[in-house]
Structure 1
């Protein structure tokens, strides 16, 4: 038995029912990170991405007794990498969905990390005032599902969480150690998958060595950075196809 572990990005979560239900016949874990959702008022004043990875590992151990296919989106991709490096005994595979690789990927986090809380709050309030325009920047069409889910994402964390998490990802991806950890995961033989939206792949700074050594490098057609919001079923089908290929390859060995 294996389970799928979804690690969300800077805003929101990946536990919307329509996103989870797309992973048919799979056990899916989609925990809130420190400072988010149910943990928005129960988290330390500051944390690192190592703290987030440790928190996720504790969640996994509490809920399953098997390895997990770790899938991280955007900032969550950085957490997923650190998780896979620190907890190889819990990791069956690693999938980075446009996960932060360098400071260039963390451009949004770099901005928030430097801002005062009132300025962040004003910007988020602007997103809330026109959710359709906010998701439209990523090419996501407005619908009852996309608008309600995006609004929930905006409300899932206080602005203090956004700044603390942004500072954590900037600190992590600025260090050479981060990519060395990713190299170690690849070298260990753990399947490492890269997934991006067709409209946003060009802006993702994937090192050449990783593209060459990744188990798969998939571009999801007609989607952008928020592909799980834009087309939840296609998102899940793409990820599961990669994971199923891993199982076939293991049986052939």
Structure 2
């Protein structure tokens, strides 16, 4: 069975577009939009509504009325679930890659959201300036290739985008309506779960989501940044899970 078009939705750090991952999914069409505040859209303000609109614009422009599979990493799943809830006819499936189910999945975002602007800027700029520490925080040995990839990912967004994203996602996931939204999407859309082998145990997936998921897979020898650490292996796991659900 051919794969539907795949739209990759990046998390707090972009861009979530790696040619090695996409090659494993050929001939499916793969794309990854720059959400507001990121990449080509750096400088734009970040809100959940705005990110969902950016995602919808991308899907409309590339695929018209053809339903797509959303592959959403970390906080990107918040935007993907909103899009799937509001436009179910546009979504053939959704893969949440250690996406946020609750505030328990947003530890650093909660910390940033609680900071005043100057404090948040200092914290984030320190983080963005240290690719080796970024990798080490996910248990990744900082090889030359991985440090270059990490530096590129950290340069993809300015500090304010990270702060605004954290605040927006914390507000959304803290809402009493958030779990109801997730349950609606699980009830009518094929949702699959993907985690890294090192980070899976820390992912706060509720029991009902495990039971209702159409697929559940682990990327071996990888953590939360699996798409950066093991791009080919990540692509193979995606292909397998999408072809079996």
Q: Do both share a fold (TM > 0.5)? A: yes
Match of 2:9 in 1: 7
Match of 1:155 in 2: 155
| CA distance in 2: counterparts of 1:234 and 1:46, whole angstroms | 31
| CA distance in 2: counterparts of 1:166 and 1:28, whole angstroms | 26
Shift of 1:228: 0.8
Match of 2:33 in 1: 31
| CA distance in 2: counterparts of 1:129 and 1:33, whole angstroms | 21
| CA distance in 1: counterparts of 2:215 and 2:161, whole angstroms | 33
Quick check: 14-23 or 98-107, which moved more? Answer: 14-23
SS at match of 1:34: coil
Shift of 1:128: 4.6
Match of 1:60 in 2: 59
Match of 1:251 in 2: none
| CA distance in 2: counterparts of 1:150 and 1:20, whole angstroms | 19
| CA distance in 1: counterparts of 2:46 and 2:54, whole angstroms | 13
Asked if the contact 2:38–2:156 (Cα under 8 Å) also holds between the matched residues in 1, the reply is: yes
Match of 1:135 in 2: 135
Q: Structure 1, residues 158-205: CA drift from partner, whole Å, max 9, x if none? A: 1111111111100110012111111111211x2110111111111111
Asked if the contact 1:22–1:232 (Cα under 8 Å) also holds between the matched residues in 2, the reply is: no
Shift of 1:218: 1.3
Match of 1:93 in 2: 93
Paired residues for 1:217-236 under 5 Å: 217-236=216-235
Match of 1:176 in 2: 176
| CA distance in 2: counterparts of 1:72 and 1:64, whole angstroms | 18
Match of 2:111 in 1: 111
Q: TM-score, normalised by structure 1?
A: 0.89
Shift of 1:51: 2.5
Q: Which runs of 5+ in 1 are unaligned?
A: 247-253
SS at match of 2:216: strand
Asked if the contact 1:16–1:149 (Cα under 8 Å) also holds between the matched residues in 2, the reply is: no
SS at match of 1:109: helix
Q: Is 2:16 the counterpart of 1:17?
A: no
SS at match of 1:195: strand
Asked if the contact 1:110–1:167 (Cα under 8 Å) also holds between the matched residues in 2, the reply is: yes
